[in-house]
Structures are given as C-alpha cells and as structure tokens.
Amino acid sequence: MVAQVAAPTGRARSSTTTYSMSNVEDTRIVVVMVGLPARGKSLIAQKVVRYLGWLSIRAKTFNVGSYRRQDTPQPTADFFDTSNKDGERMRHAAAEAAVKDMLKWFKSDGGIVAILDATNSTKARRRWVRQRCDANGIETLYVESKCDSEETIMANIMEVKTTSPDYTGQDPEAAALDFRNRIRNYEKVYETIDEDEKDLTYVKLIDVGKQVIINQIQDYLQSRVVYYLMNLHIRPRSIWLSRHGESEFNLSGQIGGDANISDRGELYARALPDLVTSSVGDDRQLTIWTSTLKRTIQTARFLHASPKGYDKLEWKALDELDSGVCDGLTYQEIADQYPEDFKARDDDKHNYRYRGGESYRDVVIRLEPIIMELERSENIIIVTHQAVLRCIYAYYMNVPQEKSPWMEVPLHTLIKLTPRAYSTEEQRFKANIPAVSTFRSKGSTAKHQ
Amino acid sequence: MVAQVAAPTGRARSSTTTYSMSNVEDTRIVVVMVGLPARGKSLIAQKVVRYLGWLSIRAKTFNVGSYRRQDTPQPTADFFDTSNKDGERMRHAAAEAAVKDMLKWFKSDGGIVAILDATNSTKARRRWVRQRCDANGIETLYVESKCDSEETIMANIMEVKTTSPDYTGQDPEAAALDFRNRIRNYEKVYETIDEDEKDLTYVKLIDVGKQVIINQIQDYLQSRVVYYLMNLHIRPRSIWLSRHGESEFNLSGQIGGDANISDRGELYARALPDLVTSSVGDDRQLTIWTSTLKRTIQTARFLHASPKGYDKLEWKALDELDSGVCDGLTYQEIADQYPEDFKARDDDKHNYRYRGGESYRDVVIRLEPIIMELERSENIIIVTHQAVLRCIYAYYMNVPQEKSPWMEVPLHTLIKLTPRAYSTEEQRFKANIPAVSTFRSKGSTAKHQ
C-alpha cells in the first residue's frame, strides 16, 4: 500500500492524480476530538479545517454542542451530570445526529476530513464512534488535548463565558461558575486515552505541544495532520505582510521578472522601518522573511539595517508565482500572444497553470512549509509578492480559493495579522507614498487600474 | 525567538541567510541515542546523518563502541556485566573519549548535528551527557528506540553477529549466543526514559514508528529531525528510478523545456513495462510517480496502462531543474550568451543558480517532501529528469554534493535501489534502445558526448 493512494482492494482501474495534498481521493478521515471542556478542542478543530481547506482538502467540523443546543439551548451544569438520565439521553441523541450528518456529508458532499468536535470523554463513546466509522469505511484519528495548566484552562473559560451561545445574555461571573461545574461533571467520568486503546490511531497533545504522543499513524494525510498539530503553539504573536515597493516592472505593466524597485519603491523601503515600528507598538523582536528576488530584498534592506537589527531569511518558496512563457510580458501582450491562456486563466485563476510556470494551487503547495514555519514561529514580517501574499493572507483570513487570486492587495501598505482564538484580527497601515495599482480585474488588459 | 535563527543574546549584528535547512547557524544538537543493543540505533543514526548531509547540514556519528574497541576489540558478554568493575571503567572511558572528540568536532569542524551512538541506558549516563553538552552550549535531543518485537530484535541480532567487528572471525552461533547474553546484562540496568526526565527533549520510537512520543521539541531543526524519525519504517521495499525516454530536446541538445519524447523515447516507453516486470521479480504492487512535464508522463503511460494497473501520481516537485533564462538553449548557446554563468556553473555546480531559475541545492530543498514520502512509502517507481534523479540517487547512495551534479545517469536505463540495514543495494537494467548521451563533462559545450 502506498500512503497517498490507499486503493481499496478490487478497484477496477488505476488512477492518475496531479500531486497535491488532495490526492487522497480514497482516504476519508474523521478526526475525533477528545478532552475536557476548555482544553482548546474547538480552536484546534477550527485550525485544522482552515489548514486543510487552504490545501484544497474538503474538511468540515461537526460540533456536537450545536446539535445539543437545538433541543437544549442553555443548559446548566446539572445537564452534564452523568446521574442526570435525561441529560445523558439528550446528549447521546445530539452525538447521534452529528455523526449521522457527518456520514451523509462524506457520502453526498465528497467530504475528505470531518472533525467531530465534542468531549468524547469515555472509552465507550470513542469505541462507538469508531464502530460507526468502520462500518462506513472511514478512518478515525483521535486527537486528545490534555492540559493541566491552570493558566490555559482559565484563558479558555474566559473565552467560553464571553463567546459561547450556551451563556449568551448571562452574567459572566455566573457563567464562569456554571462552566466550572460543568467541567467538574465531565471530570467524574473522563477517561484519558491509554494502553487499552492502543489499537486506535491517536495523537495526545499535552499542554499544547509540550509533549505529543503519536500512535499508529496509518497514511500520508494522517501524518500531515499530525505534523501540523505538532507545530501549533498558542503564544500571542502577530504576522506582518507587505509587498515589495513599486518595481520598474510594475511601472511598465510587465509581470514576473527580477526588476529593481522604482524611485517610489525606494521611498517605501525607506519608510518601512518607521511603519513597522509604529504598528508593532512595543519592542518585540521580529524576523524578516523575503523572497530571493531583488525587489523584496531591496524593500527590506532598511528594515534589516535598522537599529533594531532584525534577522533576515531569504526563502525561494516566497518567490513570485512563476508565469513561465509569459514572464516579462504585459497583460495586453499575453492576451495578444496567448488569447486562450488569457481566457482560461480568467475562468479559473486558482487552477490555471502558466505554460512552463505555476498556478495559484502550485504556489499554495510550495508555501506549505512556510505556513508550517509560521505556525512554529512568533513575530514575523514577510516582504513578498502579490500572488504569494494573497495565498498567505487567504490561509489566515480563511478566504476561499476562487476568491483569493482576485483580492486587492495594494502596494505600499503594511498588513498586520494577529491570530485570536476563533479568528484573525487584521490592521492595515498605508504608507503615504503613491504607487501604481497592479490589480487587474477579470477580462481587463489595462496596464494600470 | 524564531525557530530557524536562534540568535544568542548579545549578538552584535543581524544576519542574512538564504533559506535552507542549513540556516541553523547557531543551533548545534547532539542526538543522543538510547536503547538496548539490537534495537536499530546505529541504523537510525546512519539514516539521520545521511538525510542531514543531503540537506547540507554537517552531521556525524560518534559510536562509543568503536572507541571501546580500541582497548577491547572483542569483549565477551561478561565485559558488559555491571558487576564487572574493570569493564565498567573502560566503557565509561570510551564514552568520555567519544564525547571529547564530539565536542572538539563542534568547535573546530563547524559541526551542526552529532549523533552519540551508544546504549546510554541509564538516567545517570543521560544526565552526564546533558551536563557535558549544556556546559558547551549544545542542545540535546534523546532518541530512544524501544522495541519488544522478537522479530525485529532477532533480525538485528542476525545482522550484528555477521557484521559487527566485535565478532569478526567468530562462529556465528557462538556470536549470537554471546550477543544475547550481552543484551541480558544491559537489561539488568536499563532505564527507559520516563516522567523523571520530562525536562529532556526526547523522542521515543516504540516498535519502529508504531508509537512515537515527542517531548519538549525546542526549535526548527529538532522538529525536522523528529518528523523524519516519525516517518521511517523498516519494511522491505525497493525504489526504481528512470529518466524519461529520449526527448526531442535531447536530440537537439537543448536544455529544459517541455518537449515530447522522440521515436526512440517512445520505444523506451513501450519497453518499460517489461523492463519493470523483470526487475521486480514478484507481483508486488508499485506506484508510479512522474513530474508534470510531458516527457515523463509520456514515458510512464504504457506502464500506467499495463495490466498491472499501477496507480500514478504527478508531482510538480519532480519537474526538472529550472534553468531560468537559459531554458531552451543549448550548452553552446549558454557559453556564448552567458559566458560568466557558464563558467560559474562549472566551478560550483551544486550551488550555481540559473538566472531566474534554480540550483541543485534548490532542487534538493524542493525534493525534501519527496524524500519524506519515499521514507513513508513502499515500492515506488519514479520517472523523472536528469538533475532530479541525481539528487534522489545521491540521497540513497550517499553521494557527496560536489559529485552528484556530475554523475552519469544514462537515458533508457532503469535503476533499482533496495535499502538494506547499512547501505543501499543498486541494480541497473539497460533497455536495448539507443539514445543520445546528455552527460556533459566540465567545460564541454558538445551537443552529445
């Protein structure tokens, strides 16, 4: 058996797949979250779904709590007491409903990875999920978040009492108290994954990545999800994104190449250190990442040489989308010389691959190590190119693929992204330095808009 | 702190590094192997060194056994009994000598990752290694191989009794018996890594990857080594490598491009299924990997359509080295139009990056996920391009970087690589179909040699 193409026995024909994380056609996985309330399960689930979606893998979270809320919108802690038979029946019914919808999603919507977001806190419950999945030929990967750090738990309780629909409109202090009691009720029956369950494929995340236990990983997709989970951290940080300063090619309307920055681009490069300082707000140490192309290195050079002395890395993976035979042409020239290509790209900009070059989808694949490094890192400023920046931005802001290649990302603008528990905060800082617009709307061959 | 650039406090200047796994300038790690004899420690050590070396990271194994052999070339099992004071003193002296040389290597030879290959079977010994490394500002990563599978242990004993210098010239059965006794002596004092050592950075590999426990991973390089270890397996398998059939560009002496295969290339494509079948020797299922370029897809198409019905994946990462502005030129044209580049490439072919294109070093970096997938996979046949094939071959055959870009890899030849415990076996199967030679020796601009 080969990891990526887990061919079920008896499949009649061999298949061809262009490689991406999505060549997992025959693999379907339920990631079963396990853990007490306030252990960051929903946050982890949300990050995994976003990461997989970005890699073109159909992924979706099924949150048992929201099924339960259909019948019991605002239960008190007693509802979660195991001696409360009514509560238990209703909670089981909610799990049933979630699993049923999930299986339907695999069957009718081409789902690849579902996340079953619930406490799944007993061996019996986990076994039950496994049986339901096995019966449908779907793999299970259990992800237990185990955390005894009072600080992390408290941070999660604060988050829940202010954001959970279970407590909407309630007094925050009462909500926090009730939530603590709910946790205690779960603690009474909670069983961590142990030796008895060594036939399961599982990952135990202890204190968010301090220790990770990985058991019986079966295939490529599982190993990717696990590697992603291994690299997560929850220390606060921000990521800054900037395009290079206006380039000579931007002025002439040519794409690709390795041009120098223009005089106005130079002004932006000189303005960047102050722009960054004012957006940071404290004296955090940043690291600068650029591509290997002149225009990003030139743009970052004053920041690199500034008194702060930020370290710098040049990544080939941050180079602009390779436009192959169209490199150095204007959009008008492309429309004239390669009219079919020009149209094909407009029709499906995410998947269109320039002859001898790349598609946005290709760029996402080569950016995957960058995203993994960003997950491991703290404060990073990335000076890169329009298409690459769109892809990184799409990851953090959850922008759908069909939209991200059409996003407007103006020159001479610094974007600051700050990941929060359930979303990413965005701020834009515009340098007051004019530049051409390199945004091109569908069908247009205009040099500048 | 950012993972890749762990800047020591007080460093005067910021630094620039072109990204590769080797931008770990300030990180130095000792990978401390832990485990009873016959648990595959030396094999793991050897693979890690090979992998890191391939990624341009200076790595070296320090085997305590070979230091011990300088004084005690062929000890019996009694030597390893802890009640044997003389034996214990000499074994400790050997560990001292190995650690001393290792620290010297870091200091004078620019070492990045050392592997301390020994049993390191007690907490006291591990603590001692840690103290020595801490005192020299070197990180420690403990890798314990724990294995109770009688089959794996037996396979390792068989390997040792026939290959270890400890038993050279001895009766194999007596050697196996003595070695079993040696293991028993180690078992008496062996302490697995446990809760008491949770301040250590460690990986426990249980039954070669069935379960993996990862504790306190600190930085980028550690996380890469750990991911590599996670993906290893020891199931027997082979890897087949072939270049595409002769292409139109091979005939005209042009490099790069996306040409069709020639008539003779077509003959090779038709011959490939039989060539593969005869080299496989049994009815193992293979998976075909190609690049996204026409010449590899055309070459693999009969193999893909053969009655065996092998699955196929197309990888962008397997595309030929991008020759940038020189794409489509002949070597003579490059020498005429870019004489400085032509010379620079000959002077340092591994590091020379074509303008707007790639170097061999760049190709190695983009092949890293391919190597990781190959480690996870079983039987794979890769149909790819000269430079890419050289890089993959160099990984398995441990070819130094300065040599690998100059290796001769003829067209119309199938290479079968079979990884063994301490080396990789190679077989070549030549299709009897003529093709031009695309090998170019240093300085030459000849179309074909």
Write the pLDDT tens digit of every residue in A190-247: 999 999 999 999 999 998 778 999 999 888 889 889 999 998 887 889 999 999 999 9
Nearest to B317 by CA among B365, B261, B356, B269: B365
Q: State how far the Cα of B434 lies from the Cα of A170, in Å rounded to an integer.
A: 82
With cut-offs at 50, 70 and 90, classify the pLDDT of residue A420.
confident
Number of Cα atoms under 13 Å in the Cβ half of residue A406 = 14
Average pLDDT over residues A132-143: 97
Q: State how far the Cα of A358 lies from the Cα of A380, in Å rounded to an integer.
A: 26
The nearest alpha carbon in chain B to A227 belongs to B227
- In tens, the pLDDT along B398-444 reads 999 889 999 999 999 999 999 887 789 999 999 999 999 999 999 89
Task: With CB atoms and an 8 Å threshold, state whether A327 touches B356.
Answer: yes
- Whether ipTM tops 0.90, in short, is no
Average pLDDT over residues A158-181: 87
pLDDT at B192: 97
- In tens, the pLDDT along A52-77 reads 999 999 999 999 999 999 988 889 99
CA dihedral in degrees (B320, B323, B326, B328; nearest 10)?
10
The three-class DSSP label of residue A328 is coil
Determine the residue type at B194: D
Q: What residues of B are in contact with residue A310 (Cβ under 8 Å)?
A: 14
Residue reference for tokens 């298409």: A387
The nearest alpha carbon in chain B to A372 belongs to B220
Task: With CB atoms and an 8 Å threshold, state whether A377 touches B13.
Answer: no
Average pLDDT over residues A380-389: 98
Out of A144, A166, A219, A244, pick the active-site residue.
A244
pLDDT at B25: 53
The three-class DSSP label of residue A18 is strand
Mutation to test the A interface, candidates B11, B16, B216, most A Cβ within 10 Å: B16
Out of A139, A320, A322, A368, pick the active-site residue.
A320
B92 is catalytic: no
Q: State how far the Cα of A255 lies from the Cα of A271, in Å rounded to an integer.
A: 25
pTM (2 d.p.): 0.85
Report how many Cβ contacts below 8 Å link chain A to chain B: 148
| Contact in structure between B198 and B175 (CB atoms under 8 Å) | no
Task: With CB atoms and an 8 Å threshold, state whether A376 touches B230.
Answer: no
Q: State how far the Cα of A445 lies from the Cα of A449, in Å rounded to an integer.
A: 10
Rg (alpha carbons) of chain A, rounded to whole number: 25
Mutation to test the B interface, candidates A16, A216, A225, A312, most B Cβ within 10 Å: A16
The three-class DSSP label of residue B408 is coil
Work out the percent of chain A whose per-residue pLDDT is above 90.
70
In angstroms, the Cα distances linking B316 to A50, A234, B254 are 23, 33, 21
| Contact in structure between A106 and A164 (CB atoms under 8 Å) | no
Q: State how far the Cα of A247 lies from the Cα of A367, in Å rounded to an integer.
A: 23
Q: State how far the Cα of B125 lies from the Cα of A12, in Å rounded to an integer.
A: 57
pLDDT at A20: 43
- What is the DSSP annotation of B217-271? --SHHHHHHHHHHHH-------EEEEEPPPBHHHHHTB-SS-PPB-HHHHHHHHH
For chain B, list residues with pLDDT below 50: 1-24
- In tens, the pLDDT along A284-323 reads 889 999 999 999 999 999 999 988 889 999 999 999 999 9
Out of B320, B322, B341, B358, pick the active-site residue.
B320
pLDDT at A164: 84
Q: What residues of B are in contact with residue A311 (Cβ under 8 Å)?
A: 2, 5, 7, 14-16
pLDDT at A290: 96
Task: With CB atoms and an 8 Å threshold, state whether B3 touches A377.
Answer: yes
Task: With CB atoms and an 8 Å threshold, state whether B215 touches A214.
Answer: no
- E-state strands within B296-403: 311-314, 380-384
